[in-house]
Copies of this chain bind each other. A is one copy, B any other.
Amino acid sequence: MGAKGNLIIGQSGGPTQVINQSLVGAVLEALKHDNIDGIYGMVNGVQGLLDEKIIDLRKEKKEDLEKVAMSPGAALGSCRYKPTQEDCEKIFNICKKKNIRYFFYIGGNDTAETANIIHDIASEEGYDLGIFHVPKTIDNDLRETDHCPGYGSASRYVSLLFKGDNLDNLSLKGIKLNIVMGRNAGWLTAAAALARENEGDGPHLVYVPERPVTMETMAKDIEKVYQKHGRALVAVSEGLRNTDGELMIKSKLKEQDSHGNVQLSGSGTLGDFLSAEIKAMLGGKLRVRADTLGYAQRAFMGVYSEVDAREARQVGEAAVRFAAGGETSGSVIIKRLGNGPDYAVEMGFTDLEKVARVTKDMPNKFVTGDNDVSNAFIEYLKPLVGDLPPAGRLNFHSIK
């Protein structure tokens, strides 16, 4: 049984479609536990907490919380701030002053790292503070967990976009590149493959950071597809790397965020660069277009995966249940118990440090050598995304 005191929860990093499900799951679960008094929310994550921007979540009505759960964006406000050691000490002191005994931070691997630092300080000081990382990321790149809440919904958006764009590209043929989010790993880009339903459907090529390429081989790959199908629909990860291991458009990029990461999203740079290069390499005459899928991947209103929404709720609930039951720290993980029609999961948890810092690439069994994904990957992803609507096609009957 955990200590008696207050709970605080915050959200960090890029929001997802279902990050509020985790928040609401945690809040509603917390209401059931007598050892939890105040249920507080950090406004804008640890950045707001440093300024003691804290709100009372017990006062929210259940129906409002349920509407929040269904909405994208981080309802508490998020931050991209990575606290220093000094900041973490300050945060610890705020927790102590406010008798906070349960600390939940919803986010990616940077968030797990922050949680781990605060946990270490609390342990050294001998203060009873349960610290839990609640996973979320559309990038699906956290270790230990089978998959990350937020990934299924973002994958659904990407699959539906490619499914429609495949039909669009069929009707007005040409070379179409779609740049998908994923700085280090190709998980979300690979979701484009779920759009295929009929023979010849795109994406015809899937480029992920795990498989570096040269512009020359890329242009040749695309030309081959174009010769076969009279068109080419191509999925490209924003984090695509060249064979020197550098980002494909390193030289074109300037901005860096506070974690030292290069800005890839919110800009059409890579798509425009690739389409110009490919167009030039293929002789300049083909119609080449590039769309850079934007924040809609993580925030499009109303498009989400039901499985993902349910699981995001469950990780929030599980974190509070573990904490209230006396666990002192950890990151919630999803364990897959069955697949296909027997798809089922259970919540577990693991050490914070096992999730912090290092991210998880797509394993070799999921990526094939010819710029595609394996059937094993499709089987892995399908239950996370749910059924997609069928693509209607005419049969092109010839006239007698």
Contacts and interface: CB of A to CB of B under 8 A. Distances in A.
Interface stretch (A55-63, A111-119, A332-340, A369-377): A55-63
A396 B269 contact: no
B290 A266 contact: yes
Contact of A272 (B269, B296, B302): B269
A292 B295 contact: no
A168 B298 contact: yes
Given A268-B269, A300-B160, A167 B398 contact: no
Contact of A40 (B75, B291, B296, B399): B399
A112 to B, nearest CB: 19
25 contacts: A41-B394, A44-B171, A55-B396, A59-B395, A60-B397, A64-B393, A67-B393, A71-B393, A72-B164, A72-B168, A75-B393, A164-B299, A164-B301, A164-B302, A167-B299, A167-B301, A168-B295, A176-B295, A178-B294, A266-B291, A267-B289, A268-B272, A268-B290, A302-B388, A302-B389
Interface in A113-144: none
A327 interface: no
Interface in A173-199: 176, 178, 195
A394 B171 contact: no
A168 B160 CA distance: 21
Interface in A265-283: 265-269, 271-272, 275
Interface stretch (A77-85, A215-223, A308-316, A357-365): A77-85
